Amino acid sequence: MRILLVDDDPLVRESYTLGLIERGLDVVSADSREGLHRLASGSFDVAVVDMLMPDVDGGAFIVWSRATAPRLRIIAISGGGAYSAESCLAVAEGLGAEATFRKPVNLDQLRDIIINPRR
């Protein structure tokens, strides 16, 4: 199972990527623009997407991924910012995210959702 982790903060990307790899997952991380390119050129099973990012926000990323990779499972994360984390995650659910997590994310819970989908 390949996971694409998309977040604009390099420290979050590194921390979450290393944490998920330590938990036995195959993770590739990218910022929003690179994430779109990686998704278009690679095969991923799950995308973990931050909702508030410059360039391409999480909502646009979800919409684009639904059009180009309809089988991709989406998990949204948000720490809030200009908008509350709750409202960002509600938008993600409305766009079809399978699960949502408020930052900081409990990586054990994230791993469990990745391995055991709610569907």
Q: How far apart are CA 27 and CA 46, in angstroms?
A: 10
- Can you read off the two tokens belonging to residue 96? 């079809």
- Residue 119's pLDDT is what? 57
Residues of the chain with pLDDT under 50: none
Distance CA 16, CA 29 (A): 9
Please state, in angstroms and rounded to a whole number, the distance separating the CA atoms of residues 103 and 37: 25
Looking at residue 118, what is its pLDDT? 74
